[in-house]
């Protein structure tokens, strides 16, 4: 199976805390850096689960871009797309099984449709990050990628990504994209409204609702939830709900968004 993802490849700075931050005071932390970005995470998990995986996106022509590109390729993912500008950085603070993120996407949203090669989208599934629908010109690139993928027989899936992204423009772009499959948490599902697609609703510790059927989450220790939804998406696209939930549990048991 071949999965192609379109969206961001960025540098994740992950701050692991034993307790929440105390405003105005110092809190002991363990801090690590990893490659990240929703589309890159899904590609990395897809490769780890046995699929052929390709990431499509723009990343910076800087040391951070070289680092995250190398790390993603080391995980078995083909990385294509222009290198220009600066690489985005996301700081994720994880404490007590929850997370808070501060996001800078760098040059990723500047990907244009004319920078794409239709051959990149010869795949079984094209998975598009919702962040790609939030801004131009990458939103136009996502639409062009979907056309190219469908012309070669692929399904198109979309992750809603964050309810704060969802406005009338995002909804219109989703309608035009006409995804076959949509991943969303309950708040994103409500904000996005009616979409004629198969829904996979992520409900955290309660598992998922997929195509109207409830599936419980796997038991296990939660170290960091960063990337769990991306692992779920990769597993679901490859092997359905069971593999998706297995991958999500594996992601929660480790620090960092990639396997």
Residue 245 lies in a domain: yes
Q: What pLDDT, on the 0 to 100 scale, is given for residue 32?
A: 83
Q: Which helix (H) or strand (E) holds 63?
A: helix 63-74
Could you give the number of structural domains in the chain?
1
User: How many Cβ atoms from other residues are within 10 Å of residue 107's Cβ?
Assistant: 23
Would you state the structure tokens that stand for residue 56, as one six-digit string? 């499509």
Residue 149 lies in a domain: yes
Whether residue 258 is contained in a domain is answered as: no
For the chain, the first-to-last Cα distance in angstroms comes to 19
Q: Is the pLDDT of residue 44 over 80?
A: yes
The confidence score (pLDDT) of residue 97 equals: 66
Q: Is residue 257 assigned to a domain? A: no
pLDDT at 94 over 80: no
CB-based contact 133:157 (threshold 8 Å): no
pTM: 0.90
216 inside domain: yes
Q: Is 186 part of a structural domain of the chain?
A: yes
- Give tens-digit pLDDT for 134-151: 999 999 999 999 999 999
- Label residue 27 by pLDDT band (50, 70, 90): confident
Q: What is the CATH number of the domain that holds 198?
A: 3.40.1190.20
Domain with 64, as residue range(s), is: 2-252
Strands (E), the chain: 2-6, 10-17, 29-36, 52-56, 77-80, 87-95, 98-106, 125-129, 155-159, 181-185, 198-202, 208-210, 213-215
């Amino acid at each position: 199976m071949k999965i192609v993802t379109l969206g961001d490849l960025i540098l994740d700075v992950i701050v692991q805390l034993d307790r929440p931050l105390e405003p105005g005071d110092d809190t002991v932390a363990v801090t690590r850096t990893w490659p990240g970005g929703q589309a890159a995470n899904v590609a990395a998990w897809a490769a780890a689960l046995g699929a052929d995986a390709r990431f499509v996106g723009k990343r910076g022509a800087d040391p951070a871009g070289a680092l995250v590109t190398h790390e993603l390729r080391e995980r078995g993912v083909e990385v294509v797309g222009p290198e220009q500008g600066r690489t985005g950085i996301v700081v994720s603070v994880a404490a007590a099984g929850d997370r808070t993120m501060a996001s800078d996407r760098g040059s990723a949203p500047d990907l244009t449709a004319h920078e794409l090669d239709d051959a990149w989208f010869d795949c079984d599934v094209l998975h598009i990050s919702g962040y790609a629908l939030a801004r131009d010109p990458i939103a136009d690139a996502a639409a062009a990628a979907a056309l190219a993928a469908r012309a070669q027989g692929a399904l198109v899936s979309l992750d809603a990504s964050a309810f704060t992204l969802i406005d009338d423009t995002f909804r219109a772009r989703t309608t035009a994209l006409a995804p076959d499959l949509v991943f969303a948490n309950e708040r994103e599902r409500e904000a996005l409204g009616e979409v004629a697609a198969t829904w996979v609703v992520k409900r955290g510790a309660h598992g998922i609702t997929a195509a109207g059927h409830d599936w419980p989450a796997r038991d296990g220790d939660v170290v960091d939830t960063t990337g769990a939804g991306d692992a779920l998406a990769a597993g679901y696209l490859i092997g359905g709900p069971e593999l998706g939930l297995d991958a999500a549990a594996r992601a929660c048991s480790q620090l960092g968004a990639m396997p």
